A and B are shown apart, each in its own frame.
Chain A
Amino acid sequence: MAEHRQDLQRELEGIEAKVIELFAMVAEDLARATDALLSGNNEVVKVLAEREAVIESLYPEIEETVNRNILLQAPVASDLRFLLSVLRIMPELERSHDLVENIARRADHILSDDLSPRARGIVERMGELVSDMWRQASEAWYQRDSSAAALLAERDEEMDELHASLIAELASGSMTLPVAMEMTLVARFYERLGDHAVNVARRVVYLAGSLPPD
């Protein structure tokens, strides 16, 4: 039997595809940025700047499509929850990519040798953790998995601990002041990225609705 509203279905699938694209960009660039920071390779900044331009055009496009469909299609149930959730995670994705870009830029100002081994270790760990959290958030969105929110909240606590350790290390005076100041910012960026990942997972709870009876 034919399903109706195939035009709406296509629109929704189109929006989902673009959202997945955004998730991918954030995840990939996050890995690149951490890498750049630790290896001192600042070529990645140009790549990220180009990506930023793509996101800048994609973001209003997605927003406009969502607005139009909410207005004209009178969506309910899962359609409505999807569209509203997209609107709510767009800012999270956009700001997250900004943060990633900011992290990458610091690679310009810091030579990796400036970092103390301990600081380096923590930053590596933070990078891994945040990348993993974003992978999980992205997966949660794709699978409409509402259980991810609790798990990510726990991992965010780990992130907070790492953040605290890094700040302590920076304050210990084992690095020069300029470097320490830069790294304080970087620490904050990573911590915020973790928060955004948790926020996205929270939005997925509404998106997923109640589990269908099996």
Chain B
Amino acid sequence: MEDSEQKVVTNLPRSEVAAAQPAQSDASEAGTEIFGAKKVSCYYGSFRAVTDVSLQIYEHEITAFIGPSGCGKTTVLRTLNRMNDLVSGAHVEGDVEYRGASLYGKDVSAIAVRRRIGMVFQKPNPFPKSIYDNVAYGPRINGERNKGKLNEIVERSLRQAALWDEVKDRLNNSGLGLSGGQAQRLCIARTLAVEPDVVLMDEPCSALDPIATSAIEDLMRDIKQRYTIVIVTHNMQQATRVSDRTAFFSVLRNEESDTRTGVLVEYGRTQQIFEDPHDDRTRAYVTGRMG
């Protein structure tokens, strides 16, 4: 994190950002709008990491955030479920609306937000508890005590995560004893157990081998009908395989003043972004040229 208390941080002027605004997103065939980000800027202390991002996420779609390192895609993802609140000094300008309700309004409880908007992380992080207790954790903290109901929830979630058959005979084994791909599916099951509305995924497959990756991509396609998914990925083939819409973020730099910030460059249907990108920067990135 930027040590903003010690030195004066100059941010990239907003006018420059405005000049680099993205092509309009294609809202064709879009369902209900789940998230509406309106000129969202994210700060770590006084450093503006992301500037004036506006986009809409639609229901029952998989939306991918792609872009080079440092472009703020993970930061933007984490603003969708207020996980950035956990970083001291982090704050958000602009607004994010979730189904019409502001996520950053005055009376909004971050806890309530996170119950409806779950997150899966890059490195699988199962709790040092049994597999059963891992999945039952969410429902338990929401007050569910009935053993029968919990059993049902655990089985349903593990089935949704395509992990049930592999672990049904060893639910009392430690969650830490699973392989990478299984552990990640366990984390997904744990997230699904609280029946969220949205599942955010921060590079969920980057620590996994290709077979485990395929399993999780299949899972994403299966659960798409019940949930809305937003995924940050470095793997462009993954974005093309699973996502309906893709948002390309990049770093906007001013070499003379040595300022930089993350911006949304282009956002549209995945086929259009990868077959015929409108912005030169998008084309440079997806074709790997990225000057």
Contacts and interface: CB of A to CB of B under 8 A. Distances in A.
Given A210-B278, A213-B23, A213-B278, A79 B287 contact: yes
Contacts of B277: 77
B278 A212 contact: yes
A76 B236 contact: yes
A81 B275 contact: yes
A71 interface: no
A8 B240 CA distance: 21
Nearest to A74: B237
Given A5-B289, A76-B275, A81-B276, 6 more contacts: A2-B291, A3-B290, A4-B289, A77-B275, A81-B275, A210-B276
Interface string B255-291: 0000000000000000000111110100110111111
Contact of B288 (A1, A4, A213): A4
B24 to A, nearest CB: 11
Contacts of A2: 291
A1 B289 CA distance: 11
B283 to A, nearest CB: 5
Nearest to B275: A77
A60 to B, nearest CB: 26
Interface string A1-29: 11111001100000000000000000000
Contact of B274 (A3, A9, A77): A77
A208 to B, nearest CB: 9
A164 B280 CA distance: 47
A2 B289 CA distance: 9
Interface residues of A, number: 19
A117 interface: no
A78 interface: yes
Q: Is the interface of A mostly helix, strand, loop or mixed?
A: loop
Contacts, number: 43
A75 B278 contact: no
A79 B277 CA distance: 12
The 6 closest A-B pairs by CB, nearest first: A209-B276, A1-B291, A5-B288, A76-B274, A3-B289, A3-B291
20 contacts: A3-B289, A3-B291, A4-B288, A4-B289, A5-B287, A8-B288, A74-B237, A75-B287, A76-B236, A76-B274, A76-B286, A77-B274, A77-B276, A77-B277, A78-B283, A78-B287, A81-B275, A210-B276, A210-B278, A212-B278
B291 A80 contact: no
Contacts of B291: 1-3
Contacts of A76: 236, 240, 274-275, 286-287
Contacts of A80: 275
Contacts of A77: 274-277, 283, 286-287
A3 B281 CA distance: 12
Contacts of A8: 288
A5 B280 CA distance: 16
Contacts of B290: 3-4
A76 B288 CA distance: 9
Interface string A76-105: 111111000000000000000000000000
A8 B286 CA distance: 14
Most buried by A among B236, B276, B286: B276
A214 to B, nearest CB: 11
A68 to B, nearest CB: 17
